[in-house]
Amino acid sequence: MKLPPFDYFAPSTVDEALDLLAEHGDDASVLAGGQSLIPLLALRLARPAVVIDINGLDELSGVTQTNGHVTIGALTREYVAEESKAVADGVPLLAGALPYIGHEAIRSRGTVGGSLAHADPAAELPAVARALDAELVVRSRTGERVVAAADWFDGYLTTARQPEELLVEARFPVAPASTGTAFEEVARRHGDFAIVGLAASLTLHGGAITDARLAFAGASDVPVRAVDAERLLAGQSPSDRLFDAAAQQAADDLDPPADLHGSAAYRKKVAATLVRRALRAAAARANREGGGS
């Protein structure tokens, strides 16, 4: 279909963008990469009165590493994050997830912030953000606030961002030493949304797991941390039996949706399989010198 009519603004500074958001609030959609918004517009599923195109806001683009965090400007293109050494070195789980996002042409335009603000529960970056307890920074005319990933994802395609706020950056903690990560997903085809995806991270110390993160994509209306499974893993030594138990726990705790691509029961099964596979991979990587992904 063709896009419906809307008023279009392309602010050239962040302040301009914030003014527009303050004025239009709920009537406005923010256009970043457009890889999610434009299909919604083209299918006439989204009908914003106003579209605010933030692609001119260069200051919101870029990857920096400071104080144990890798900070990614919201407008950073996914392919830029994929090619970033800071991301590869500092946030291997994110580096591992980025190539799963659609296809190269999608990542040429899609942005890290856009994916996190759109909050499709089947997308890769929300699961990574949830796994790593990333911080989302939003700004409005009245100031800035930092929202923990645990508080960011409210519901299906819904976040804690208020209508007058703009997501300006995402902060990912740098992986500690001896951390291994794995992003695994089951999709119908290469490049598709995950039927179920898993962002996993294990930190080992003296042969025991000191930190375990498991966050699912596609298993709910938001990305979901398998907290009970993580607790099972904490303090234990990696083993197949341990990972099987964690897999079972994680799957039991899920209440996944059903759709054309899989029933709820199927998603639970796949979730368990992904936990086993991801934990094995993460543990192996953690054991290699200094961890990595």
- The residue (of 2 and 241) whose beta carbon lies closer to another protein is 2
Asked whether the beta carbons of 108 and 79 are under 8 A apart, the reply is yes
- The residue (of 143 and 190) whose beta carbon lies closer to another protein is 190
- The residue (of 34 and 176) whose beta carbon lies closer to another protein is 34
Residue 253 to residues 122, 238, 279: CA-CA distances in angstroms? 18, 21, 17
Number of Cα atoms under 13 Å in the Cβ half of residue 182:
19
- The residue (of 153 and 193) whose beta carbon lies closer to another protein is 193
Instruction: Please state the closest distance from residue 94 (CB atom) to another protein, in A.
Output: 20
Instruction: Please state the closest distance from residue 161 (CB atom) to another protein, in A.
Output: 22
Dig out the tokens for 162 from the structure: 């208020």
Return left, alpha or beta for 62; rule: phi > 0 is left, psi -120 to 50 is alpha, else beta.
Answer: left
The site for another protein (CB under 8 A) is made up of: 1-6, 8, 10, 31, 34-35, 38-39, 41-44, 51, 53, 55, 79, 102-106, 108-109, 186, 188-193, 195, 260-263, 266, 269-270, 273
- The residue (of 11 and 262) whose beta carbon lies closer to another protein is 262
Q: Per DSSP, what are the bridge partners of residue 53?
A: 31
Asked whether the beta carbons of 32 and 150 are under 8 A apart, the reply is no
Q: What are phi and psi of 139, to 5 degrees?
A: -130, 145
Instruction: Please state the closest distance from residue 138 (CB atom) to another protein, in A.
Output: 23
Instruction: Please state the closest distance from residue 56 (CB atom) to another protein, in A.
Output: 10
